[in-house]
Amino acid sequence: MTGGTDNHLIRIDLTNKGVAGKPVGPGQRYPVGSAGLPTSCTSTTRRARPEKAWTTYRTRKGAGEEQRRESRVTDPTQRTAAPNLILRGTVNRTAPTQEGGSLTRPDPAPPGSEIGRLRADFPIFGRRVHGHPLVYLDSASTSQIPLPVLDRMRRHEQWHNGNVGRAVHTLGSEATEAYEEARAKVAAFIGARSPDEIVFTRNTTEAINLVAHAFGGPSGGDQRFRLGPGDEIVVSEMEHHSNLVPWQLLCQRTGATLRWIGLTDDGRLDLSGLDELINECTRLVSYVHVSNILGTVNPTRPIVDRARAVGAITMLDASQSVPHMPVDVAALDVDFVAFTGHKMCGPTGIGALWGRADLLEVMPPFLAGGGMVGTVSMEGTAFVPPPARFEAGTPAITPAVGLGAAVDYLSAVGMAAVHRHEQQLTTYALAALAEVPGLRVFGPTDPAHRGGTISFAVQGVDPTVVGRQLDAVGVQVRVGRHCAGPVCVRYGVPAMARASFYLYTTTDDVDALVTALADIRRRFG
């Protein structure tokens, strides 16, 4: 796509659209404040959550069934075109196989194909890097943002910019409605029962730290969050540092013990000793759904069942699963799920924590300030119910609106289609990479057990050299330990190069990677 031609772009309207479905009301509200607390200052401008937003977005059946709602405000930049159906069918028509020693590739993606039209929504793919077409294979780190999401954020800033929950004027009301509507969209996207179960955070890291903060507090706190000597927290050896370091610090602070599930040689969790590892001393089990370095898709049912059997709380780092596959928090049966917006076609600075309502209700505030208080006096403060209790200060309003728009975009594409597309790309890529001499791929060899993330090492070539040489021909990959140092130690390497796919990745991108790696191996290996 060139910068001067955009009449073939997919125009997905991300404002004021809904899905017809059975109304599901917001969750039960909890009383504000506590008995006997002086009320010298009472908040009367809580961020009102419009019930119509939750009713609209609770049931999602695809872009073809989405109904338009009239805009409350005339916006001259508003798009009126109905969303296009994209990637609803099989993107790559044939799965790659090895036949007679040669690689059978899926059908390419010409400009007029479904994925070709989808890529046109991402203007960044019109640029070149060092004179070469951009091949972006770093979506596990951050995804690219489509025009409809960029446009939605721009329109919000241009026409509806105001603070949330701080005023009765029109702009403040519009900003509040947009912010809470985004919360409702996120809740519906992951199958939450109510928007009240969605806490907006800066990212996954903050969401995990929010939960960690609830443990080991004053002795008068909820029994489920008591933590001290003799108690144990269980993680896995493949965790991102964001789901490891907070628990290490919590154990140091409380005297609890950190234990972990080990890894097999092929990059999967070793669950052989699960019953011994998760025992009556276990208070929390926190683990990654899809590994950001190995691509491993971890099983949830055996871990959750064992944690439930001993009364432990469960938390899932879903940063690499929510953007790439259908996720239903009710089906997962965990207690907390954390994910971030910038890995799912949204902006940076916005993430989300989903938590069971009964747990969120008894958790103490994470940060203190405006917006999370009910009554304030010089003698003390009472706090509002979740989720506002955990969103002190002015929130990231426009990023939240952008996340809601990203949810709309992904819903229009269809998460099952996104997942299928990535599985086919991964199958094709694993077979193609296997033909490069001296290339070591980490993680499961069966594509059914991994997502669209492939880490590798080229024999005899420093990973940094690999990354720089790939960049020289326009191929963007991540190099390093990927905030998963213990994984590199486990497999005896100082670092890895990582290629990661998303809904806009094509087999041509994979071919460019494989060709460049073969050349690097010839020149440097």
Print the SS3 string covering 69-103. Answer: CCCCCCCCCCCCCCCCCCCCCCCCCCCCEEECCEE
HSE, CB side, 13 Å, CA atoms: give it for residue 327. 29
> Per-residue confidence of the chain (525 residues) as pLDDT tens digits?
333 333 222 233 333 333 333 333 333 332 323 333 333 333 333 344 434 444 434 433 333 333 333 333 345 435 433 333 334 333 332 333 333 333 344 444 555 568 889 999 999 999 999 999 999 999 999 999 999 999 999 999 999 999 998 789 999 999 999 999 999 999 999 999 999 999 999 999 999 999 999 998 876 679 999 999 999 999 999 999 999 999 999 999 999 999 999 999 999 999 999 999 999 999 999 999 999 999 999 999 999 999 999 999 999 999 999 999 999 999 999 999 999 999 999 999 999 999 999 999 999 999 999 999 999 999 999 999 999 999 999 999 999 999 999 999 999 999 999 999 999 999 999 999 999 999 999 999 999 999 999 999 999 999 999 999 999 999 999 999 999 999 999 999 999 999 999 999 999 999 999 999 999 999 997
- For CA atoms 160, 191, 142, 514, give the dihedral sign: negative
Of 517, 408, 495, residue with least CA distance to 63:
408
Query: Could you list the active site residues?
Result: 483
Amino acid in the structure at residue 145: I
| DSSP string for residues in 236-263 | ETT--GGGTHHHHHHHHHH--EEEEE-B
Coil vs helix vs strand at 138: strand
Q: Cα–Cα distance between 285 and 334 in angstroms, integer? A: 10
Q: Cα–Cα distance between 445 and 429 in angstroms, integer? A: 11
Q: Which domains does the chain have, with CATH numbers?
A: 97-120+414-524 (3.90.1150.10), 157-410 (3.40.640.10)
